[in-house]
Structure 1
Amino acid sequence: MLYAHVWIVVESGVSMESQALLSAPLSLLQRRMWHLCTAYPGTASPIVVIANRITEPLDVPAFTAAVDALADRHDALRTTFAIDADGPRQVIAPPGGLDTEHADVSAHADPEASARALVAELAGALLDLDGGTLVRSLLIRLGPDDHVWCLAVHHLLADGESAMVLQRDLAALYRGTPLPEPPIGYAAFAAEQCAAGDGGADLRWWAEHLRGVPPLDLPTDLPRPPVKTTRAEQVDLRVDAAAADALDAFARAHRTTPFMALLTALLAVLARRSGQRDFCVGTPVSGRLLEETEEAVGLFSNMIALRADLSGDPDPAELLARVRAEVIAGLARQAVPFGQVVAAVAPPEDRSRTQLFQVIFSLHTQTAGGAPGLRWAPFGQAAPQILHDLVLDAWRGPQGLDLTLRYDTGLFTAGTAAAIVGEVADLVRAMPGAAGRSMFGVRHG
């Protein structure tokens, strides 16, 4: 049995039979997220947001009952945190549903704008980690057959894969489609991860591989404050389908993936701007390495630090080969929680920067939005708060490659952010035809 060492205790004075609150340790992944949430003060919390527009007749009582059932199915939606002498711990409430707030903007001059404002407010909330509400459900009525449902969950309790699970399960519960037995609860996963040991040879590899890596010191438009802030905005750019297809073909020809090719372009831009040839970029991994976690809700996603080697004067193929080797080595050891890696590397204390890497890159492969049985579509909302200096997200679709760069407004202006993402796009277009040329010779514009 995988989860044999579950440490879940009933709060004092109440029996298990009475459906009391349960207490569990934070997972190692949650400990790292807790550090990020408390070490770098911000005006909002890192939140996983589902916002979908439902354009069909909606049985509102049945829908809110489905939301209740969703919370009863997944203990992460019933979790808060308590802090005692030993630090934070999870507190899981018994099944009891989840209140859905209701708002009717159908009589407003611009119902869609009003709905977007409400979703943005929910997504940008600063939540109370010490026993406060960390999950909110909001149903907005724009018209007779037009609603927006928004679920905001603190990132300590959910990740991107969790959002996909929640959408599928809600659609099934609303339509009355049978679901399998509930997946393993997150509290059980947390207890097992804490008992799993120290990471062994993989942790030792990370500690040696990342030892001495310098922080990425990009030129900034504003002085770096002594304590990192989380203020952010974003810029968006699309690379057309022809250029994206050419990059995909270039990656296949070199036995790599589009992720590796895009990361190569980003590393070259960061190296040109910083003058550095050695630094790290972070990338998230799903962390769902066990079958028992595939349909669970919780913070399973991990981070790995990919160390760039831009020494010499590599051409695109050479740098891509280095990136390929680094990504393969990192993914082979992705099970080690990033917090353990940071502790093992022990970088110098610097509250003005996040540890080990200051830039994150993600290529998203999931399709956002609805699920079978419910006619809904994503209701776009921007929640650009970030804990790092830059976060580059990429989405590959039939129209091409969409790039979104979120940037710390305490460091960079909109013009600089637009220039950075523009340089990445230029390299995406140039790399397939730049064999034998230096990665630092392809200039922006």
Structure 2
Amino acid sequence: MAGQAALDGALAALPEDRRELARLLLAARQPVPAHPVPRSGTGPVPPTALQNRLWSRERTHPAVATGSHALRLTGPLDQGRLTEALTGVLRRHGALRTRLVRSTTEGPRLYVDEEPALRLTRADLTGFPARAAAERVAREVAESASTVLDLETGRTSAFRLLRTAPDEHVLILASHLAVFDGWSSGVFLADLAAGYRAGPAEPAPPGLQFADYAQWQHRWLAGPDGTAELARRRAVFAADPPAARCPAGFDRGHLPVRLARGPVEAGLALGAGEGATPFMTLLAALAVVLARRQGRTSAVIGTPAAGRFAAPLEGAVGQFTTVVPIRIDLAGGPGFPELLRRTRTAVAEALGHQRLPVDALFGDGTPPPYDVLFALHNYPAVPLELPGIEVGQLPGPPARHLELYSPDPAATLACVGLVERDGEIGGTAEYNRHAITPEGVRGLLAGIEEVLHRAATAPDSPL
């Protein structure tokens, strides 16, 4: 402790412009821990690998990194308290006060502003006829999803509060995907509810912030442990060819999808008997479909993972998502139970590498070895519980995931994101119009149903 006190005293004696440099140099000499830890100092840090890609892409595709969702609030809302609570959440999470600043010598750097800047617009629609008010709300929700946010200026969030009746409001949030992932929605809403209930006595900031993670990722990837893990993981996919890049490029399309209940229920029951989760069972069936399509005895599928591999990250707002490539071996024509066992092992192995950003794993300009992404979403459901307020989710435009999840969207056919509700499995497929048709996407899902049906009726038959 005395040594640390002496070190702190020596740092404090340095001029301010050299103090942060000294901290960085000292940190560089220390071993990089296996998990992020709070950093010393408050200076700038390198952006994450995903942030670098999104920042570059939004130079030519504004709003490509904007996510949005809307809530209907029914009841006596205290607008002043809601405003204070929103500001409190921005103050609590450094990711929501982040700016990316160009540097000619070190590359871009992330700065965290001391004070939050709440960007909230209000509109009173109580004088509108019901139909006109509904149309205005729908337009505002659609416009929010196209809001041009800018990581460089720090404009990474924007809110709209629409009063549609004396005791009814719509709250719309637009957030920059470089600092806000799907898991962050639950964290944000839980903190917003806590701040609304507590008033000025808002919750303390989490001990681990996104900037801590960004600095750790940069150091870990450059260190011996990160370098070795990258080499081992790349070796797994060394024999898998990169996905073919569509010459026409990328043009987004969306398609609502749903799996037939009968074959899926039978297949999931078979999977449960083999100790496989619903995700593993559906993934195994999709691997069969893709292996047939590609004429191979293996399939590589990308799946978005939360990337919160350390418990303290679970309470932080930030963009931690990565894509985990999963290689499934179908050699030898296994029956479905054997394929489930192989898939279970492959998934567990792959998810153990969530620390590796996909942009570092396949970031040399060569497309990754998968052209389909698949997810069965399980974000924690955290309702926005405001006293005296009934909260409902409003439908909005489909999310844009391909450019978030894929280092090269032109080399991807589709991203199928499903959820399980009330025994039904469905969701949205986002696809590249230049590479596959809606019928082609439906064919992939029909193939999953066919595999599950055959597996349930003749589980030991070779695939």
Q: One fold, TM greater than 0.5?
A: yes
Matched residue, 2:353: 333
Structure 1 segment 71-220 matched on structure 2, within 5 A: 71-85=90-104, 86-106=106-126, 107=129, 109-131=131-153, 133-176=155-198, 179-196=203-220, 198-216=225-243
Q: Aligned partners of 2:133, 2:153: CA distance in 1, in Å?
A: 34
Report the Cα offset of residue 264 of structure 1: 1.1
CA 426–100 in structure 1, closer or farther in 2 if over 3 Å, else same:
farther
| Unmatched runs of 5 consecutive residues or more in structure 1 | 11-22, 218-223, 344-350, 440-445
Are the counterparts in 1 of residues 35 and 310 from structure 2 also a CA contact under 8 Å?
no
Query: Match for 2:103: what amino acid?
Result: D
CA 290–315 in structure 1, closer or farther in 2 if over 3 Å, else same:
same
Answer yes or no: is 1:235 the counterpart of 2:268: no
| Unmatched runs of 5 consecutive residues or more in structure 2 | 1-33, 404-412
Are the counterparts in 1 of residues 183 and 380 from structure 2 also a CA contact under 8 Å?
no
Q: Deviations over 1:19-61 (max 9, x none)?
A: xxxx3221344345546xx299546413333322212221122
Q: Which moved more, 1:91-100 or 1:309-318?
A: 309-318
Matched residue, 2:47: 26
Answer yes or no: is 1:393 the counterpart of 2:378: no
Query: Match for 1:417: what amino acid?
Result: V
Matched residue, 2:443: 419
Q: Classify the secondary structure of the residue corresponding to 1:24.
A: coil
Are the counterparts in 1 of residues 300 and 327 from structure 2 also a CA contact under 8 Å?
yes
Q: Deviations over 1:108-139 (max 9, x none)?
A: 62433432332222113443443362211112
Report the Cα offset of residue 400 of structure 1: 1.8
Are the counterparts in 2 of residues 230 and 385 from structure 1 also a CA contact under 8 Å?
no
Q: Aligned partners of 2:434, 2:123: CA distance in 1, in Å?
A: 34
Matched residue, 1:362: 375
Matched residue, 1:292: 312
Matched residue, 2:406: none
Structure 1 segment 52-71 matched on structure 2, within 5 A: 52-71=71-90
Are the counterparts in 1 of residues 242 and 369 from structure 2 also a CA contact under 8 Å?
yes
Aligned Cα RMSD in Å?
3.0
Q: Classify the secondary structure of the residue corresponding to 1:87.
A: coil
Q: Aligned partners of 1:140, 1:152: CA distance in 2, in Å?
A: 14
Matched residue, 2:293: 273
Query: Match for 1:83: what amino acid?
Result: R
Report the Cα offset of residue 71 of structure 1: 0.7
Report the Cα offset of residue 310 of structure 1: 2.9
Q: 1:48 is matched with which residue: 33, 48, 67?
A: 67
CA 356–140 in structure 1, closer or farther in 2 if over 3 Å, else same:
farther
CA 277–123 in structure 1, closer or farther in 2 if over 3 Å, else same:
farther
Q: Aligned partners of 2:41, 2:109: CA distance in 1, in Å?
A: 11
CA 182–399 in structure 1, closer or farther in 2 if over 3 Å, else same:
same
* TM-score normalised by structure 1 residue count: 0.82
Matched residue, 2:5: none
Answer yes or no: is 1:376 the counterpart of 2:396: no
Are the counterparts in 2 of residues 52 and 149 from structure 1 also a CA contact under 8 Å?
yes
Q: Aligned partners of 1:39, 1:75: CA distance in 2, in Å?
A: 22
Are the counterparts in 2 of residues 124 and 383 from structure 1 also a CA contact under 8 Å?
no
Query: Match for 1:6: what amino acid?
Result: R
Q: Aligned partners of 1:263, 1:68: CA distance in 2, in Å?
A: 41
Q: How many residues align?
A: 411
Are the counterparts in 2 of residues 231 and 386 from structure 1 also a CA contact under 8 Å?
no
Q: Which moved more, 1:59-68 or 1:411-420?
A: 411-420
Identity score, percent: 28
Q: Aligned partners of 1:5, 1:386: CA distance in 2, in Å?
A: 30
Q: Aligned partners of 2:367, 2:147: CA distance in 1, in Å?
A: 22
Q: Classify the secondary structure of the residue corresponding to 1:205.
A: helix
Query: Match for 2:66: what amino acid?
Result: I
Q: Classify the secondary structure of the residue corresponding to 1:271.
A: helix
Query: Match for 1:67: what amino acid?
Result: L
* TM-score normalised by structure 2 residue count: 0.79
Q: Classify the secondary structure of the residue corresponding to 1:314.
A: coil
Matched residue, 1:433: 457
Q: Deviations over 1:254-299 (max 9, x none)?
A: 1221111011122222223333334421112222222321211111
Q: Classify the secondary structure of the residue corresponding to 1:202.
A: helix
Report the Cα offset of residue 432 of structure 1: 2.4
Larger gyration radius, structure 1 or structure 2: 2
Matched residue, 1:258: 278
Are the counterparts in 1 of residues 263 and 450 from structure 2 also a CA contact under 8 Å?
no
Q: Classify the secondary structure of the residue corresponding to 1:151.
A: strand
Q: Aligned partners of 2:37, 2:152: CA distance in 1, in Å?
A: 29
Q: Deviations over 1:364-401 (max 9, x none)?
A: 12354623335312212123434363111121122421
Higher-helix-fraction structure: 2
Report the Cα offset of residue 101 of structure 1: 1.4
Are the counterparts in 1 of residues 125 and 162 from structure 2 also a CA contact under 8 Å?
yes
